[in-house]
Structure 1
């Protein structure tokens, strides 16, 4: 084995003593496993081997990326959440030679809080901000990047504590609060509002965050905005245009209908025509029992009148849920495909048993089960 290969093997084996020997034998501290990989220092930084990184840096290993398309040692440590290695490399001058070909180091740190979520990722983000790290040329403001990356609220709070403006706007003028609202990120919305974001800020089309949230049926977001003082004017018209009756009541209406209200829409909403349900046969059987119980309790006339779903279809769906789920060919779950009308029927059965009629449910089922299953179904249908 030649000396450089000896060093590569020592680094990959995480063996500091072997690294010392290879360097003493004359191995190049910038050795690489192949022409298509980074240097051994990048490998050590990526794996978090602090002692080996120290040995390589002390031997003169370059702090730069081997090639522009490769990560630098510092960026590797940031991406993988190794704060001690980050500190070592920064102390040795890595920030001064860090290239911008792959975007700013701060952007990498923000992204790491989502791709590799761990406490060290937050500490690295805080450390870089303390050092004055900022956005690179052509990048959005860090707080905007964080919202667009859907990072955890903790990362957003760190940015705000280091001076980020909660009223920042994307390069096209869209306020950060509206970006979060459009994505249904109610946690980010709450953090921004708590930090002082204007709940009534508008985008270039004059739409508020509340209008965007209601148009996309993001109820948790709209609740956060209303509690923060968002003006319902304009949002109510959006709710009417999309026939969101529950939202209209929340906005203060005492009587709502399904009127045809023309509005300027900013979203295209999907209308599914079919669904694949995945689960275990026992759970499908419980769903079938719930549907059958609701159908039997209401009877044909009342079922049709209350749900708007055909009685015969409900009976069919109840049987299908019990008899037709099939094992997925390459997975451990079972599955069954329902049409939009069939899934609507299932949901109506849960609604009736949860809120309208009280019956004795089959053994093993109770009101808690019905409510929990309905909540989970509603969350997936949003």
Structure 2
């Protein structure tokens, strides 16, 4: 049995669950999932991750006495679509997945969001296990129950809150992650320090190399991020308040993803988040909320980790200020047509800022595009 770290998510009404973090957990998937009950567990994955791990997980499930099947989709953000959602639901129904059975999301954030939404919708809700295989998914998207797909009008606009029954974060899967995806996931790691834990951001500046190289810092970082997110989720499960802080950098980032057509050749989610984090701090400094020194420190660290921090670094361009602003108006945090941003008074001092003047945002974006 593998050594692992455990983060407990103490939700009410018997919905609490564990996040297990460590190397080799996929080989224990069958035993751990069978302990949840049910007769079947269908794996939803993508063609890339599935080729590496799906048969291995399926063998573990069947060795534990669970009937199983595999539903595989094309990799990439474009799979978070109406058409692929229908494909996954029909595939799960084809495997006769019932309410007492389980859906296993094996992959990165796209697979987790897509499979989670299918599990939430199938027969009005079947149980879900998240088995994240990317750094981004392990530290962020697999935890907390947000599931969904994209609309041509914006990202993650169709979905449901559907908490998993178990999260298996096998950090050995990160050994096969391409460097670009590892860097993209690191943007979400740094985000947790920037939100409300300046000490963790200090730790990241000193230890980010160990996260990339696969040292003990990797498991520690995943556990710290999961513990931080779990605390926020327990206090505000459905994003009525504090949970919105987890979207630091995402208003800018999601707009960029939409304007690049969710094309991974141009931009992947974590790269959009990295640019968004840098923009959120520069915008905060422009508004006199935080120091330019803090904004510079954020951008410098992200750049050191190999991440983009400027609109000019988006291949093929990021559109003009009006296009970016229009894309932001479809952000989930918009209320009564008013823009809401997550801004910062300093590193580890983020806050929700409703009713931001669109003219201020447009002027800021214009300067960013002009002075890049």
TM-score higher than 0.5 here? no
Greater share of residues in strand? 2
TM-score (norm 1): 0.26
Larger Rg: 1
TM-score, structure 2 as length reference: 0.27
- Which structure ranks higher in relative contact order (CA pairs < 8 Å, sequence separation ≥ 6)? 2
